[in-house]
């Protein structure tokens, strides 16, 4: 499938960002001038409250425009990576941004230097919306180095991001999967479909054709993965954090214990539940040997569940009805205004994400293939986009972007509302079993798999910090070992399992994946209350979304009436899985 | 061809470095202890002359062992990149070396700090061999930063080498070339052979199958190439050099003008000679259209020139006879002691190099395919290895390694002696024409092509320094444009020409290739004198080789009676080409 074969209404409308080259250039010129203005003000912007206020406004404008330029290039390149003009624009924006980082890295330092005076300015009303952000900067005092050293470190920014850049630049043309002599297109989106095929040969072929590319380039991936771990270790050390994990939780404003608690709950206390589920799979599938590429075979017949994009929107609106009319209006807007790029095609970036900026729509990139998983991914990304939309509409720019940590709550609440709707409204035991099964799979991904990833990255970080060499052998053997412990004894691992870690982008994000687990846990608690008819919960949840990033994640979640530090939510989440598993057994029995 | 199918006498003997794992481990343990000893001496090694002497001896021992460990891993990995145990060893050694760089980066700083006292120590006889190296360190004073900043920069070493690491890690399985329905193995070594095929379809296929891989991964290569340019710019700026070129010539101890002089001579003044040659090619080949993948079609029938490894050695010994018996004994040693890994096979690193260390043989990696080019490459690499052998045997460790700048003289003298021998001893006009043709091609590579590469990297560096974005579009268009100017109007460029720059490793070495041109130029002058019967020239040339890196390149070349700053040698070299071209026209005429 080529991009040109896709009907325009199913592509995102990037002309709403820039209708033509001139408008892009105009913004680029404007942001260049703004940067000069900011640089000019270096020695004067903290000396009085008027200067400071004007500077902050200019800085907002600079960041807003730069994000707009970046959003345009980034989205356009992801659907047309072969377009070298776009790649040039992207490179130009990135080079400008990198240079800006270097040239403007005086700002935080100056604010910290003048922190006492500035704390005085903040009591003025006009600074109200800046208070949280400025206090966050001042709090960073103990991790800031001298101006000279900050300048030195900033020089390296352009090359320290190289691991991620190289990882992102690699695109494979996978060998197609042959089904009945016909060659079928393989990429990350279709892989999921092939792994659901009843024919073991198709599953095995898809798994092999996919991951053999990662094995072919294993030394390259090991180099970039070792590079990012090394980079995180270097920056943590330089910035006086105990470890890359310490740096990650600091930025999220949560205690480090949270990470270990999640790992302990998921990887130790509740892991037997996952093994029980795998044993049940083996029994229901009646296989002599259960390989990891067999785990996606539908336990319930799902081949008849197809949902086109337009129907998906109707289902989504019904499922999200408990969130109220205002929420649904935004969902409609997303379709009417073409926020979303729906379908997979050749060269397009794999996966799905919500991405935009304060001055653009909150766009969504999808690889929609008409199945339940696509529907669920769509409602997930819509969760992010509505969160952004509400935050952008209700917050000043400075407070509009929220931390990843709370972001996943918005997406997972949507996913959970969807599946609960599907289970509750199932018309037959088959359908009910199917949706329970889908939710079990979803829970596996979020409650069990992500903490395994978390353990893997934690161990890689430890090795990098200890200067242990990270060859592809070391990396893939570790991943294979953790995978075996994770899946349990019932599952036989394919020889390429160790290399499948090279496919996962999140390891380049310094402790990201465990946040999905927390998001799921919190979301289960919120949805439970909403569906139990707690009217106040809807209002407080929407208030949470509208609050964007105006305070710490813990404070934000408290607006939604959830305490992320409470042990109870984990017990609730895993009990939910346990109950679902029990319900599944019963439904499968009933179905017979 | 698999490695196991190759007779052992044609592989290099790495057991002479480490016969078993224990000996590797023993050296690794020893070098670890030495590093600790060096660290311990941080505050005491400059306080008196005895301490300083003992420290330098320990440091030599540390470096020698580390280089030995690295040499082993590096050579072993290059022939067996799929061997993950070797990759692990390599990663372990690299991690250790990186850590060592960080931990021991106090040394130069302390020496500079105590430079006045140390200059006093150097007058003692026992420091005689250390004088040049220590003075080089002290000279670096103006480019050294504060200890704190040096520590900070050293942290980044492990990630600033990432561009090169990623580039080195990429290995392609090229699509085979189909000749008469038979699929033939394509890699860098066999590409050269295919490009000589009389059938345009074979040439075109080989060129395309080869470079299409580079186009497929163009964004990755653009990322690493932009990364290395950025890295060089950052380091030049931090270290207070005017530019990466300024840093490069500083390290080589030559004036920056040398670079521009070579570019002016080759790319402006004498380039019309190369265009004349291309026009002659078109005429002789009688082609309507001369593409760049046609330029390697032999103008003289060469298919009958085959030379097996054993015969190659006999020819080499005869050709190098003017250098005397002692030189020839070392050539014999290289074969008897298995310094050389001759044949290409699957997975093996492409190309050829001489690589070893003070405590190992000066090994050679070849991809020998029985043709004249292989013979010529072999004698080239032997030039390096004999240079190393003589330097290691005659110099203390501290003065044994010589700069790349003078290294190319040793290899090119050998190549030139070989070809002159072949031309002089040709038995027929055909044979004579053939060897003249080979030398013309060789001169094209060294006198014309490398300065074009030099211009390309100079322009890339300029763009990176100016923060201009370096997308694959920018890079490949620039390379295509320079290539067109280089080849001249008579040559039509293939659409993949721009992407062929991604194949060249030298752009990762911060101004390397122009040194080949100087090496050739100097070598032509030396060989001329030797063949003119100047007996003193042989002795002074051997003295130059034995001098290793004991003084500046200019001083070293003066030992060989050549002044690299003299304009005359360039005029001589290009006139040689002009004469050769004339001689070729005449011989081709005679042949008819």
Residue B8: predicted pLDDT: 95
Structural contact between residues A530 and A541, judged by C-beta atoms closer than 8 angstroms:
yes
Residue B311 sits at φ, ψ, to 5 deg, of -65, -35
Q: Is B26 touching A (CB cutoff 8 A)?
A: no
Task: Look at the block and give the residue holding tokens 């040698």.
Answer: B569
Residue A417, CB-side half-sphere exposure with 13 Å CA sphere: 28
Of B159, B437, B490, B410, residue with least CA distance to B297:
B437
- Could B219 and A169 be called an inter-chain contact, meaning their C-beta atoms sit closer than 8 Å? yes
Q: Does A3-160 match A242-303+403-592 in CATH topology?
A: no
Q: Is A301 touching B (CB cutoff 8 A)?
A: no
Of B402, B415, B425, residue with least CA distance to B376:
B415
C-alpha dihedral sign at B566, B570, B573, B575: negative
Question: In this prediction, does ipTM exceed 0.85?
Answer: no
Give the nearest chain A residue to B239 (CA atoms).
A152
Q: Is B154 touching A (CB cutoff 8 A)?
A: no
Of A452, A379, A382, A455, residue with least CA distance to A417:
A379
Structural contact between residues B177 and B205, judged by C-beta atoms closer than 8 angstroms:
yes
Give the nearest chain B residue to A151 (CA atoms).
B238
Chain B residues in contact with A173 by the CB 8 A cut-off are 216
Give the single-character DSSP code of B399: G
Beta strand B363-365 with B340-341: parallel, antiparallel or unpaired? parallel
Looking at every residue in chain B, the average pLDDT score rounds to 93
Q: Give the whole-angstrom CA distance, residue B509 versus residue B164.
A: 9
Q: Give the whole-angstrom CA distance, residue B298 versus residue B485.
A: 23
Task: Look at the block and give the residue holding tokens 């924006």.
Answer: A93
Each residue's pLDDT tens digit, B542-556 = 999 999 999 988 889
**Helix H segments across A466-552?**
472-487, 514-531, 535-546
User: Which tokens is A141 given?
Assistant: 């005092």
- Gyration radius of chain A's alpha carbons: 24
User: Which tokens is B208 given?
Assistant: 């395309």
Contacts of B276 (CB under 8 A, 6+ apart): B581
- Could B169 and A87 be called an inter-chain contact, meaning their C-beta atoms sit closer than 8 Å? no
Other residues' Cβ atoms within 10 Å of the Cβ of residue A535: 10
Residue A514, CB-side half-sphere exposure with 13 Å CA sphere: 27
Residue A303: predicted pLDDT: 53
Residue A592: predicted pLDDT: 67
CATH class of segment(s) B170-302+443-508: mainly alpha
Per-residue pLDDT of chain A (592 residues; tens, 9 = 90+): 899 999 999 999 999 999 999 999 999 999 999 999 999 999 999 999 999 999 999 999 999 999 999 999 999 999 999 999 999 999 999 999 999 998 998 998 899 999 999 999 999 999 999 999 999 999 899 998 887 888 899 889 888 999 999 999 998 999 999 999 999 999 998 998 999 999 999 999 999 999 999 999 999 999 999 999 999 999 999 999 999 999 999 988 888 988 999 999 999 999 999 999 999 999 999 998 999 999 999 898 765 778 999 999 999 999 999 999 999 999 999 999 999 999 999 999 988 999 999 999 999 999 999 988 899 999 999 999 999 999 999 999 999 999 887 998 999 999 999 999 999 988 888 888 989 998 999 899 999 999 999 999 999 999 998 888 899 999 999 999 999 999 999 999 999 999 999 999 999 999 998 998 988 989 988 988 888 788 899 999 999 999 999 998 888 988 998 887 778 788 878 988 998 999 999 988 877 6
Q: Give the whole-angstrom CA distance, residue B397 versus residue B589.
A: 54
Among A147, A471, A498, A508, the residue to mutate for chain B (most B Cβ within 10 A): A471
Q: Give the whole-angstrom CA distance, residue A379 versus residue A323.
A: 13
Chain A residues in contact with B220 by the CB 8 A cut-off are 166, 169-170
Which CATH architecture does the domain made up of B3-160 adopt? Up-down Bundle (1.20)
User: Which tokens is B411 given?
Assistant: 């290899």
| Known catalytic residue at A283 | no
Q: Give the whole-angstrom CA distance, residue A232 versus residue A578.
A: 37
Give the DSSP H or E segment for B26: helix B21-40
CA A425 to chain centre: 29
Give the single-character DSSP code of A146: -
Residue range A242-303+403-592 in CATH 2.40.100.10: no
Give the C-alpha distances (Å, rounded to integers) separating B296 from B203, B293, B436, B444, B489. 9, 7, 14, 12, 17
**Helix H segments across A286-403?**
309-319, 325-336, 372-394
Chain B residues in contact with A226 by the CB 8 A cut-off are 91
Q: Is B539 touching A (CB cutoff 8 A)?
A: no
Nearest by CB to residue B231, choosing from A90, A159, A474, is A159
Each residue's pLDDT tens digit, A424-483 = 988 888 888 989 998 999 899 999 999 999 999 999 999 998 888 899 999 999 999 999
Which positions 320-339 of B are in contact with A (Cβ < 8 Å)? none
- Could A159 and B98 be called an inter-chain contact, meaning their C-beta atoms sit closer than 8 Å? no
Structural contact between residues A192 and A142, judged by C-beta atoms closer than 8 angstroms:
no
Residue B467: predicted pLDDT: 85
Secondary structure (3-state) at A320: coil
What does the angle CA A332 – CA A336 – CA A339 come to, to the nearest 5 degrees? 95
What does the angle CA B64 – CA B66 – CA B67 come to, to the nearest 5 degrees? 65
Domain boundaries, chain A: 3-160, 242-303+403-592
Q: Is A1 touching B (CB cutoff 8 A)?
A: no
Contacts of A220 (CB under 8 A, 6+ apart): A166, A170, B166, B169, B170
Supply the DSSP string of B98-137, one letter for each residue.
HHHHHHTTHHHHHHHHTHHHHHHHTTSGGGGGGHHHHHHH
- pLDDT at position B592 over 70: no
Residue B302: predicted pLDDT: 62
Catalytic residue among A381, A408, A415, A457: A381
The shortest C-alpha distance from A178 to chain B (Å) reads: 20
Chain B residues in contact with A96 by the CB 8 A cut-off are 467
Chain A residues in contact with B467 by the CB 8 A cut-off are 95-96, 98-99
Residue B195: predicted pLDDT: 95
- Gyration radius of chain B's alpha carbons: 24
């Amino acid at each position: 499938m080529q991009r040109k074969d896709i009907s325009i209404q199913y592509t995102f409308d990037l002309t709403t960002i820039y209708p033509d080259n001139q408008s892009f250039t105009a913004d680029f010129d404007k942001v260049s001038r703004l940067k000069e203005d900011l640089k000019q003000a270096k020695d004067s912007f903290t000396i009085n409250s008027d200067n400071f206020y004007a500077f902050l406004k200019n800085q907002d404008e600079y960041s807003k425009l730069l994000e707009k330029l970046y959003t345009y290039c980034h989205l356009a390149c992801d659907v047309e990576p072969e377009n070298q003009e776009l790649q040039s624009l992207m490179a130009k924006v990135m080079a400008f941004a990198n240079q800006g980082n270097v040239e403007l890295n005086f700002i935080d330092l100056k604010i910290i230097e003048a922190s006492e005076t500035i704390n005085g300015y903040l009591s003025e009303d006009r600074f109200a919306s800046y208070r949280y952000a400025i206090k966050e900067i001042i709090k960073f005092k103990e991790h800031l180095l001298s101006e000279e050293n900050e300048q030195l470190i900033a020089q390296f920014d352009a090359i320290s991001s190289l691991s991620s850049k190289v990882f992102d630049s690699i695109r494979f043309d996978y060998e197609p999967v042959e089904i009945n002599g016909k060659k079928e297109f393989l990429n990350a989106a279709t892989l999921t479909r092939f792994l659901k095929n009843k024919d073991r040969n198709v599953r095995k072929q898809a798994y092999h054709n996919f991951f053999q590319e990662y094995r072919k380039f294993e030394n390259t991936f090991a180099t970039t993965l070792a590079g990012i771990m090394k980079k995180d270790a270097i920056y943590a050390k330089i910035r006086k954090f105990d470890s890359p994990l310490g740096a990650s939780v600091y930025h999220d404003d949560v205690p480090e214990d949270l990470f270990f608690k999640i790992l302990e709950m998921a990887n130790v206390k509740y892991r037997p539940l996952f093994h029980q589920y795998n044993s049940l799979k083996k029994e229901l599938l009646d296989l002599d040997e259960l390989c990891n590429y067999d785990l996606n075979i539908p336990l319930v017949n799902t081949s008849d569940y197809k949902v086109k994009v337009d129907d998906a929107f109707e289902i989504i609106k019904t499922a999200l009805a408990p969130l109220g009319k205002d929420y649904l209006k935004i969902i409609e807007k997303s379709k009417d205004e073409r926020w979303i790029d729906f379908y997979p095609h050749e060269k397009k970036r794999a996966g799905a994400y919500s991405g935009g900026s304060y001055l653009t729509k909150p766009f969504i990139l999808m690889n929609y293939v008409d199945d339940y998983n696509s529907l669920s991914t769509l409602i997930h990304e819509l969760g992010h986009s509505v969160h952004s939309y509400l935050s952008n509409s209700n917050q000043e720019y400075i407070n509009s972007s929220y931390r990843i940590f709370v972001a996943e709550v918005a997406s997972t609440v949507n996913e959970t509302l969807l599946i609960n709707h599907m289970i509750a409204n199932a018309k037959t035991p088959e359908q009910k079993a199917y949706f329970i099964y889908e939710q079990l799979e979803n829970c596996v991904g979020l409650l069990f798999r992500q903490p395994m990833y978390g353990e893997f990255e934690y161990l890689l970080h430890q090795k990098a910090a200890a200067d242990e060499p990270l060859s592809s052998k070391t990396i893939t053997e570790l991943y294979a070992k953790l995978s075996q412990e994770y899946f349990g004894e019932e599952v036989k691992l394919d020889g390429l399992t160790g290399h499948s870690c090279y496919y996962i982008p999140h390891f380049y994000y310094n402790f990201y994946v465990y946040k999905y687990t927390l998001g799921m846990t919190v979301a289960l608690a919120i949805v439970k209350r909403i569906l139990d008819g707690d009217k106040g919960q809807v209002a407080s949840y929407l208030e949470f979304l509208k609050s964007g990033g105006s305070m710490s994640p813990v404070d934000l979640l408290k607006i939604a009436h959830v305490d992320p530090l409470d042990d109870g939510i984990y017990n609730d989440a895993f009990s939910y899985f346990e109950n679902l598993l029990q319900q599944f057994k019963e439904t499968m029995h009933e179905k017979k």
